[in-house]
Structure 1
Amino acid sequence: MSVSPQGLEHGGRLNQAVRQWGIPRSDWLDLSTGISPYGYPVPAIPESVWLRLPEEDDGLDAVARDWLGLPAGAGCLPVAGSQAALQTLPALRSPCRVGVVAPAYAEHASAWQQGGHEVVLLGVEEAEVTLPRLDVLVCVNPNNPTGTLLPAATLRCWHQQLAARGGWLVVDEAFLEASNGKSLVGEAHQAGLIVLRSLGKFFGLAGLRAGLMVAEPALCLALQQALGPWAMSHPARYVMAQAIQDQAWQQQQRQRLREDRQRLDGLLSAAGLSPQGDSDLFAWCPGDQSQEHFEALARQGVLVRYFAEPQALRFGLAGGEAQWERLRYALSALA
C-alpha cells in the first residue's frame, strides 16, 4: 500500500472549494467535517496564561483523569490534538507490520508508513484473520468516516492477542463522546493498549488543538520526550481543563447532537439517501451516485465529504435553522 501525504484529503477545505467552484466563501454551507456546530463557550483566558510557558503540574492531569475515570496505573498525556500523538507513535517502535481497520482517518496509515513500517488496510473481518501476523493494529471507534462502532469485547480480544507478543492496539476515540460506544480508557493501564481522545469534535474546539493519549505510563513518558517541552500551549491546557470539568454543558451537548443527528437522518432519507453510522456528529451515506450528488450539492454551495472507495458521502451537522433549511432545499434537488 502506498500513501502520499500530499494527497491526503480532509474535510473543511473551504478555500479549495471556493477556488474549484467559484462560489464566495461567505456563501458556503460547510458540512464536510465531523466537528460539532456548537462549540464549547470558551471563558476569558487570564493574562497570566498568555504571559507564561505551560507547566506540567498545573492540575490538568488530575482533571483529565477524573473526567475519564482512569485507574491509578494508567498514564495520561495531554497533547496538541490526537494528531500529535498518532503521527509520533510510529517513531517509538522499530519497523514492523501495522494493520489499519479501513476505511479510516487517512493520517493513521500515512504516519506509520512514513515511519518506515509496512502498512496494510483491512476490513473488520480481515483484521480478525490477519491479526496473528500483525505487530500493531489501529482502529478508529466509532469509525471515521463510516461511523461504525466496534464492540468493546472485540477490541479487548484484539488487544489481548497483540499484547501477548509485545504488540499494540491503538484505538482512536475522537468521536466517542457523541456515540453510545464504550471507551477503553479504563483499561489502558495494560501494556499494549493506547487510546486517543480529542476535544476537537464533540466540544467543537478543533482550532484549539487539544487531546489526550492514555496508555501505560512508560509509553506516555516516551511520547512526551519525543514531542519535547511545551508541546501543548498554555491557553489550550487552560481551556481543556475548563471544558472537561463542565459536566452540565457536556450533557446538554449530547442531547442536542442526538436530536440533530435524527433530524439529519430524516432529511437524507427523504432525499433518497441511506444514512448510516453510530456517531451523532455525522452521517455516512454509501451509494453509486455519490460523486454526482457531491457535485450537485457543491454547485449549490453545500460542501460535504466525498469518498471514492467505497463510494459514499459524509454529512456533518447544520448549525441553526437557516442552515437546516438550506440543506433541506439542496437535498430536495437530489430527490
Structure 2
Amino acid sequence: MSEARIWHGGDLDEARRLFPEAPEPWIDLSTGINPIPYPMPFLPASLFERLPSPAGHKDLEAAAAEAYGASDAATVVAAPGTQVLISLLPDLWTRSRVAILGPTYAEHAHAWHGAGHEVAEIGSTDGAGDADIVVVVNPNNPDGRMLRRGALLDIAGHLRQRGGWLVVDEAFADFAECETLAPVLPENVIVLRSFGKTYGLAGVRLGFAITADGFAEKLRKALGPWSVSGPAMEVGRRALRDRAWRRAALRARADDASRLDALLAPHSDRSPRGTILYRLMDSSRAPELFSHLGRHGIWIRRFQYDPRLLRFGLPGPEENWLRLERAFASFS
C-alpha cells in the first residue's frame, strides 16, 4: 500500500500554494463540518487552569450516551477526536485480516496497515470473506452510502461466531437517516461518533467510541488519564444535551444541502449525493471546475482515486453562497 500523503479537507496552505493569486479570504468548502457552529458557552478560566475533572469526564460520557442512544454510559469512551480513536484501535489487536468497505475515509486503511495488519478494501460486505475485523463508514464518506441496521447486525453476528469485530464509523450519522447501532450494541461492535462535524467545532477535538464494557475499559486505559481537555468537556456536554439546537440545525442544514444540490446539478453527470453536511458531484469536467473555483478563492475536496469526483461542504453565511453562485455562473 502506498505511503503517499493522504489528501484531507481544510488545508488552506495547500490552496494558497496551488492558487497564489486567488482572492482572500478563502471560502473553505473542503470539509464536512457544519458551517454554522454551536454557540460557544462562557468558559471560566478555571477550566484552563486545572486538570480535567473525573466527574466532568463521566458526565460528558453520560451526555454522549443520551445524545447517541446508548443504553449505558459505561459503554461510551470520550477521546480527543475520532481520528485519535481511528489511529489507536489497530494497536489493540495482534496482526489480523481487516476488510474495509470502500472507497471511504482513507485514514482507516492507513491506520490498520501502518500497525501491521493485512488490509483489503472491499466493494460490498459480501467480500469480507474470512476477515477478522470489518470496518464500515455509515453513512459513507464521501458518497453517503448507508447500510441498514439489520445488515450491520448480520455482519456482526457472522464475525462473532469466529471471534471477529465490526467497527462502524458513524461520524456523519447525526444529520442522516442512519440506523445507529448504539442502542442495540452487540458485544463485538465498536461505534465511532464525531462531535466537531455536527456542532461545527472541529477545533474542540472531541469524539467517542461506543462499545461493550470490557473493551471500553481497554480503550480508556490506552487513552490514559486526562484524555479530554476541561474546556472540551464543558462545551461537549452542554452541546450534546441541547436537543433543540440540534433539531433546528438539522432542518437548516437540510435546506442548505438542497440549495447546494440545485447549484451542482447542472454541472454534474449524475445527481449529487452524500450527506447533509457535504454533497458529492461526479463530472467529466471536475478537474477544470476544481481549478476554476480555486482561482476564485473557493477550496473544495478532490480525491486521489477518482478525478471525476468533487465534494462540497456547505457555504454557511449568505455572502459565501453568493460568491459560490457567481463562480459557477462564470464557469463555461
Q: What TM-score comes out, normalization by structure 1 length?
A: 0.94
Counterpart residue type for residue 86 of structure 2? L
Could you say if the C-alpha distance between residues 23 and 252 of structure 1 is closer, same or farther in structure 2, counting changes exceeding 3 Å?
farther
SS at match of 2:323: helix
C-alpha contact (below 8 Å) 2:100/2:120 kept by paired residues: yes
**1:303 equivalent in structure 2:** 299
C-alpha contact (below 8 Å) 1:136/1:168 kept by paired residues: yes
**1:100 equivalent in structure 2:** 100
Matched, 1:159 2:151: no
In the alignment, the residues of structure 2 paired with residue 306 and residue 73 of structure 1 have an alpha-carbon distance, to the nearest angstrom, of 38
Which deviates more from structure 2 when the two are superposed, residues 164-173 or residues 43-52? Answer: 43-52
Match of 1:210 among 206, 210, 213: 206
Alpha-carbon distance, 1:328 to partner: 1.1
In the alignment, the residues of structure 1 paired with residue 268 and residue 117 of structure 2 have an alpha-carbon distance, to the nearest angstrom, of 42
In the alignment, the residues of structure 1 paired with residue 290 and residue 246 of structure 2 have an alpha-carbon distance, to the nearest angstrom, of 32
Alpha-carbon distance, 1:27 to partner: 3.0
Q: Which string of whole-angstrom CA distances, capped at 9 and with x for unpartnered residues, describes residues 31-64 of structure 1?
A: 1111110111010112221121113322222222
**1:200 equivalent in structure 2:** 196
**1:14 equivalent in structure 2:** 12
In the alignment, the residues of structure 2 paired with residue 27 and residue 48 of structure 1 have an alpha-carbon distance, to the nearest angstrom, of 35
Match of 2:310 among 309, 313, 327: 313
Matched, 1:254 2:254: no
In the alignment, the residues of structure 2 paired with residue 77 and residue 152 of structure 1 have an alpha-carbon distance, to the nearest angstrom, of 22
In the alignment, the residues of structure 1 paired with residue 160 and residue 264 of structure 2 have an alpha-carbon distance, to the nearest angstrom, of 42
Could you say if the C-alpha distance between residues 73 and 269 of structure 1 is closer, same or farther in structure 2, counting changes exceeding 3 Å?
closer
In the alignment, the residues of structure 1 paired with residue 325 and residue 167 of structure 2 have an alpha-carbon distance, to the nearest angstrom, of 38
Alpha-carbon distance, 1:289 to partner: 2.2
Give the alignment of 1:26-105 within 5 angstroms: 26-58=24-56, 59-72=59-72, 75-105=75-105
In the alignment, the residues of structure 2 paired with residue 272 and residue 67 of structure 1 have an alpha-carbon distance, to the nearest angstrom, of 36
Alpha-carbon distance, 1:123 to partner: 1.1
In the alignment, the residues of structure 1 paired with residue 184 and residue 73 of structure 2 have an alpha-carbon distance, to the nearest angstrom, of 9
Could you say if the C-alpha distance between residues 328 and 24 of structure 1 is closer, same or farther in structure 2, counting changes exceeding 3 Å?
closer
**1:123 equivalent in structure 2:** 123
Which deviates more from structure 2 when the two are superposed, residues 140-149 or residues 61-70? Answer: 61-70
Match of 2:147 among 124, 143, 150: 150
Alpha-carbon distance, 1:68 to partner: 2.0
SS at match of 1:175: coil
SS at match of 1:318: coil
Match of 2:175 among 175, 178, 181: 178
Could you say if the C-alpha distance between residues 224 and 318 of structure 1 is closer, same or farther in structure 2, counting changes exceeding 3 Å?
same
In the alignment, the residues of structure 1 paired with residue 288 and residue 21 of structure 2 have an alpha-carbon distance, to the nearest angstrom, of 18
Match of 2:227 among 217, 231, 253: 231
Aligned-pair Cα RMSD in Å: 1.6
Counterpart residue type for residue 116 of structure 1? G
**Among the aligned pairs, what percent are the same residue?**
37
Q: Which string of whole-angstrom CA distances, capped at 9 and with x for unpartnered residues, describes residues 80-139 of structure 1?
A: 111111110111111011011111111111110111101111112xx31x3231111111
Could you say if the C-alpha distance between residues 278 and 303 of structure 1 is closer, same or farther in structure 2, counting changes exceeding 3 Å?
closer
Counterpart residue type for residue 40 of structure 1? Y
Alpha-carbon distance, 1:274 to partner: 3.5
C-alpha contact (below 8 Å) 2:99/2:135 kept by paired residues: yes
SS at match of 2:210: strand
In the alignment, the residues of structure 1 paired with residue 75 and residue 156 of structure 2 have an alpha-carbon distance, to the nearest angstrom, of 17
Matched, 1:276 2:272: yes
C-alpha contact (below 8 Å) 2:65/2:73 kept by paired residues: no
Alpha-carbon distance, 1:69 to partner: 2.3
In the alignment, the residues of structure 2 paired with residue 67 and residue 272 of structure 1 have an alpha-carbon distance, to the nearest angstrom, of 36
In the alignment, the residues of structure 2 paired with residue 62 and residue 93 of structure 1 have an alpha-carbon distance, to the nearest angstrom, of 27
C-alpha contact (below 8 Å) 1:101/1:138 kept by paired residues: yes
